[in-house]
Amino acid sequence: MMESVSRRSFLQHSLKVGAASALLGPDGSALANPPAFRPIVIASGNGLRAVAKAMELIKSGRSALDAVIAGVNINEDDPEDMSVGYGGLPNEDGEVELDASVMDGLTCRAGAVGGLKHIKNPSKVARMVMERTDHIFLCGEGALRFALAHGFQKENLLTEKARKAWLAWKEAMSSNDNWLNEDQAAVEGAAPNGKRVSAHDEQTLQALLRTYGTINCCAIDLKGNLAGVTTTSGLSWKIAGRLGDSPIIGAGLYVDNEVGAAGSTGRGEANIKVCGGHTVVENMRRGMTPEQACLEVLERVVKTTKEKRLLDERKRPKFNLHFYAINRQGEFGSAALWSEATFSLHDGQAAKSMASAYLFKKS
Ligand code: ASP
């Protein structure tokens, strides 16, 4: 059984960096002249190495933008992280398609790539789109040609491990892919079509739950500038060309130096509908703490999820969605639909894994 947990109980746990705790320098000693702004780096649960790397760079004087991109490059390069970059799980055709976005709070510029093949660091290409084009979002073949023009190397991103996982799915799922049958496409409130999903189909659906995974990382640097990045191989076994929330500015990422930064991981389709990253930032602009801001958007996600196939017997989403946020005062927070989700944080002292707030408790 899963229990709904009141939002108020989480608000009491709104997280704030302790003003009394000193910022440590690269050698571990307290800084004699601490900077005006206290740096913070937040990331998804798989981002412990990323927040450590980003904080190291920020302490050495690099910008938040440089720092977060260098942080997530660790995951993009790691074949064991099968949700990002090299080694990411492929689409239904067995091809790895990567999505990424970056946003710089200082310049208010953004860049993104979607459905990018063969380039293992889409976050770097997204930055290049931001800095070296008059556009914000390139996708598919055009994004690849742009990356090659800027000297990125074409590589095979499909590792043996990812290929075997895809093949196992393919062999088990030849009759059940991302194309929905009538029962699966049923919408809450619509008249039943008289057909039932068979027990076999039900089992198959459960066994082949789509795999999500992504890294989001946002930071505030020593000058008080904010930046963020989200990078992913997206939903595994997706229909070729599918874009999730990660590369969409305002959904998987949003940054505004005047307010804060927010990003997401989890079911992108649910996030796109509520423009989550932007809405979290706007909630903070209206005075919510980062954690409150994330929880409010998750409540919108619950309200906007009407598809029967996505709801449990108590009409709660079966999927998870997770937001991470910081504000310019150095407060941070994170929340997910379901409990037992974690996020990564570096507060200038240490990289740590922390529990996110949530709407529904898993038993
Ligand atoms: N949000 C990503 C997407 O929908 C996947 C994830 O975060 O797991 O593509």
Q: Where are the alpha helices (DSSP H) in the chain?
A: 7-11, 48-59, 64-77, 122-132, 140-149, 160-172, 199-207, 268-272, 276-285, 290-303
Residue 12 is predicted with a pLDDT of 37
Residue 3 is predicted with a pLDDT of 36
Residue 187 is predicted with a pLDDT of 78
Secondary structure class of 4 (helix, strand, coil): strand
pTM (predicted TM-score): 0.84
For 144: left if phi > 0, alpha if psi spans -120 to 50, otherwise beta; the answer is: alpha
CA of 84 to the centre of ligand 1 (A): 10
Listed residue (280, 300, 304, 301) closest to 292, CA to CA? 280
Does residue 81's CB lie within 6 angstroms of at least one atom of ligand 1? no
The answer to whether 100 and 246 have CB atoms below 8 angstroms apart is yes
Q: Which of 72, 83, 101, 214 has most ligand 1 atoms within 8 Å of CB, for mutation?
A: 214
The answer to whether 260 and 324 have CB atoms below 8 angstroms apart is no
Distance CA(201)–CA(312), nearest Å, equals 16
Does residue 265's CB lie within 6 angstroms of at least one atom of ligand 1? yes
Distance CA(287)–CA(298), nearest Å, equals 17
Residue 1 is predicted with a pLDDT of 31
Q: Which of 212, 242, 243, 253 has most ligand 1 atoms within 8 Å of CB, for mutation?
A: 212
Residue 53 is predicted with a pLDDT of 98
Q: Which amino acid would we find at residue 321? A: L
Output the six-digit token pair for 122: 């889409």
Residue 323 is predicted with a pLDDT of 98
Could you report the average pLDDT of every consecutive run of 10 residues in the chain (363 residues)? 36 39 59 72 97 98 98 96 92 96 97 98 98 98 98 96 83 56 60 44 43 88 97 95 98 98 97 98 98 98 96 96 97 98 97 98 90
In DSSP terms, 335 is beta-bridged to 323, 357
CA of 212 to the centre of ligand 1 (A): 5
In order of start, what are the domains of the chain with their CATH numbers?
Answer: 8-13+36-156+210-360 (3.60.20.30)
